[in-house]
Amino acid sequence: MPRRSHATWALAMIIEAKEGIGKTTAPQEWGRPLTLHHKISKTHLDWIEQDLQRSLTSRDLEVKGAAKQFWDVAQDAAGKDVVKAAGNMQKTLWNMPVNVEIGPSAVAEDPGTRFDANTEPVPQDPDGRRRLTPESVALLDLEQLYLTAYRARREPEAKEWLQMADLLRLADGRHESFAKKLLLAPPRPEQWLKQEDEYDDGSTGVTWQRKRLRRFPGVDKGVQTFRAGQGIGEVLGAAVGVAMPVASVITFNLQDSTNTTRSLELTVQPGALTHMCRRHTYQHFDFNQAKLVNTFWPVNQVGGAAQTHPKVIAARQAIANAVLESMELDLRMTDWDQFKLSCVGVPAAGDTLFFIAVVVPDMLMGTDDMDHPTMWKVEVKTVAPDGESAQAYTEAELATIDDRL
């Protein structure tokens, strides 16, 4: 777990670089001050740092030497000035320019500890696909390589430290080619979508959301796909009644990072399945519920409730794992009560998913200590396609599509 607060992570030179870019190249409508985002989260960098400290003092000389190579590359990526100003390993890793991205001041859809990638459109792709930017490709590979060791509850092996060093070196080179002589890379406005919000008190505001790796097929293809989906002819209420006549309830007993068993009772109600179909299938979508970004299952994979239901069932293990990891990372193992959790980019049974769940500690089961429950009730409110599993449309595109249907 983090040993120092994340609140004041940014060095003065990083903040100055951000403000300088804010005066020159960032869109004014992004608001000020601009925000700094980490691609690899500070929490995951904390984990890397703690394992790195241990490996640097390992009795295994091969591991020790490989860890030193990684640390040397990390210091090169940070730069001499950052290393000197940081004064310690953790803050150096937090301030590596290659891992820091400039974005709007008000951002929707916080990825939490998950990788917060930059993306760009695939040129002339007929399905509107997007891809990771070059530096994000290398950083994501680095993070996944590290997490493979972390989730196995072991420190990285020598070969893994060397692979991570190579990936960080590659990412930094790609960053420098884009940033030129600047400390931080210029912002990428194309990947951000603007949402104008109206609040209960009558005031208005603006938030921004990344396009991420979702596909954006556009209006013409959207019209064709909606017509195909709506032609399937499933009656939603009847289909939900057949697929899920009663709530789905399953308990997962999972080991946390301290090897303590934590029990999560996962529930999906029939009403949640209905909601998922009205929000994320072409056949049943309610155009009155359109949001800034709306994601859909490809119609050849999921046509309605009969096909949404097995997707949700197959995802339950991954959802439970993501809930437990979020609980640990947010230090909420004891005080979650009606906590609404949103997770983006969750890999599950070959798909990438977004889900929302409400977590409540179960004080009647699993423990006699009311301050330290070991069992939680998790009610899944929605499961949706995300990343490359999703076809996405903006609210404006859906308004045009609705008019043409």
Q: What is the pTM of this model?
A: 0.88
At residue 231, the pLDDT reads 87
Which distant-in-sequence residues (6+ apart) come within 8 Å of 228 by Cβ? 282, 299
Average pLDDT over residues 283-303: 93
Whole-number percent of the chain with pLDDT over 90: 75
Which tens digits make up the pLDDT trace of 295-316? 999 988 888 999 999 999 999 9
| End-to-end alpha carbon distance in the chain | 52
Query: Poorest-confidence range of 16-30, 83-97, 193-207, 303-317?
Result: 193-207
* Whole-angstrom distance, CA of residue 89 vs CA of residue 184: 20
Asked if the peptide bond before residue 298 counts as cis, ω within 30 degrees of 0, the response is no
Pairing of strands 351-361, 339-348: antiparallel
Per-residue burial over 275-305, b = 16 or more CB atoms within 10 Å of its CB, e = otherwise: bbbebbbbbbbeeeebebbbbbbbbeebbbb
pLDDT recorded at residue 368 = 47
Going by pLDDT thresholds of 50, 70 and 90, the confidence category of residue 88 is: very high
Q: Residue 56 in 3-state DSSP?
A: helix
Which residue would you say has higher pLDDT here, 112 or 358? 358
For the segment 371-395, the average pLDDT, to the nearest whole number, is: 89
Q: Note the pLDDT of residue 2.
A: 43
Is the pLDDT at 360 greater than 90, yes or no?
Answer: no
Q: What are phi and psi of 130, to 5 degrees?
A: -125, 160
pLDDT at 338 over 90: no
Q: Are 355 and 223 in contact (CB under 8 A)?
A: no
